[in-house]
């Protein structure tokens, strides 16, 4: 390794830190979006349904919902389901908008729609606002 490699260490460490933070945030975003989808479809989101649709165990979904509650994104009611707070609903809407934008861009560059939907699930959480703005600008220039 050259000495120059070590000059980039703080920058590289910051990038890794940002990625870990984005991964943690992605989990919250996925759950808020799923809960919002369930509420729209069924009027509430039950832990059992959340676990099934997220492909996780009941205890895993319960822990995730507990974190959402700690973060002020959700509330739960006895004998009812999980509901999003205003903050949680806002997050779900932002995630949904980012997802649509990423899907639209991928389709515009030739990715098949089904693959674009799948790929967008990962990309949507890790793309910066600057990149999303560039995606939107590119799409508005398309015929």
pLDDT computed for residue 117 by the predictor: 94
Where residue 142 falls among pLDDT bands split at 50, 70, 90?
confident
State percent of the chain over pLDDT 90: 70
Question: What CATH number has the domain bearing residue 116?
Answer: 1.10.10.10
Please say if the pLDDT value at position 8 is more than 80: no
pLDDT tens, residue by residue, 22-69: 567 889 999 999 999 999 999 999 999 999 999 999 999 999 999 999
Question: Mean pLDDT across the chain, nearest whole number?
Answer: 88
Q: Residue 127: what pLDDT?
A: 87
Number of domains in the chain: 1
Residue that wins the pLDDT comparison between 15 and 64: 64
pLDDT at 19: 55
Identify the domain containing residue 131 by its residue range.
3-141
pLDDT at 136 over 70: yes
The model's pLDDT over 77-127, given as tens digits with 9 standing for 90+, comes to 888 899 999 999 999 999 999 999 999 999 999 999 999 999 998 888 888
What pTM, to 2 d.p., does this model score?
0.77
Q: What is the 3-state secondary structure (H, E, C) of the chain?
A: CCHHHHHCHHHHHHHHHHHHHHHHHHHHHHHHHHHHHHHHHHCCECHHHHHHHHCCCHHHHHHHHHHHHHCCCEEECCCCCEEECHHHHHHHHHHHHHHHHHHHHHHHCCCCHHHHHHHHHHHHHHCCHHHHHHHHHHHHHCC
């Amino acid at each position: 390794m050259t000495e120059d490699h070590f000059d980039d260490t703080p920058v590289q460490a910051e990038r890794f830190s940002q990625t870990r933070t984005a991964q943690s945030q992605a989990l919250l975003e996925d759950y808020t979006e799923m809960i919002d989808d369930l509420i729209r479809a069924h009027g509430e989101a039950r832990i059992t349904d959340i676990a099934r649709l997220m492909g996780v165990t009941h205890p895993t979904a319960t822990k995730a919902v507990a974190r959402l509650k700690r973060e002020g994104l959700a509330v739960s009611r006895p004998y009812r389901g999980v509901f999003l707070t205003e903050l949680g609903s806002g997050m779900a809407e932002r995630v949904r908008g980012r997802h649509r934008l990423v899907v639209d861009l991928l389709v515009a560059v030739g990715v098949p729609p089904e693959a674009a939907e799948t790929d967008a699930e990962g990309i949507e959480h890790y793309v910066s606002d600057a990149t999303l703005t560039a995606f939107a600008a590119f799409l508005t220039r398309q015929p």
